[in-house]
């Protein structure tokens, strides 16, 4: 079964750090871009950033650039999101999603994990 499973969420104080993981199975992880999307409680979806298959390229939304870092370990079929200097407004469910293969022309998020909740509060 093709799936993504996020972990690592929890409660953290403002200014603190947290590392999320996204474990992939059922497909060739190292062939795909993978993306992080977040959803604040009761709000819409916000793209956070993504990384290319070999980890040499990554992009972020302005609101997290310089605070969040995406990395991956293709040997472990895993993507990570290191979140530093966390703010109240980072409180959200964080989803990882499969983002397409280079050269395929397909950029849709076709597989999503169930998400992991991050709460930033004192």
Query: Three-state SS for 74?
Result: helix
Among 5, 9, 30, 47, binds other proteins (CB under 8 A): 47
Pull the structure tokens for residue 39: 């959803």
* CA-only gyration radius of the chain, Å: 14
The position carrying tokens 């950029």 is 107
Q: What is the dihedral of CA 21, 58, 16, 90, to 10 degrees?
A: -90
Whichever of 62 and 75 has its CB closer to other proteins, that residue is 62
Within 95-114, the residues that bind other proteins by CB under 8 A are: 95, 97, 105-110, 112-114
Whichever of 75 and 108 has its CB closer to other proteins, that residue is 108
Residues found near other proteins in the complex (CB under 8 A): 35, 37, 44-47, 50, 59-62, 95, 97, 105-110, 112-115
């Amino acid at each position: 079964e093709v799936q993504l499973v996020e972990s690592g969420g929890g409660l953290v104080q403002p200014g603190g750090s947290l590392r999320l993981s996204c474990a992939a199975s059922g497909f060739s992880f190292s062939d795909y871009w993978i993306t992080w999307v977040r959803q604040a409680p009761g709000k819409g979806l916000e793209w956070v950033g993504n990384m290319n298959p070999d980890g040499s390229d990554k992009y972020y939304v302005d609101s997290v650039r310089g605070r969040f870092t995406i990395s991956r370990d293709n040997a472990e079929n895993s993507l990570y999101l290191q979140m530093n200097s966390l703010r109240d407004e980072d409180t959200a469910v964080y989803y990882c999603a499969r983002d397409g293969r280079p050269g395929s022309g397909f950029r849709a998020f076709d597989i999503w994990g169930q998400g992991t909740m991050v709460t930033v509060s004192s």
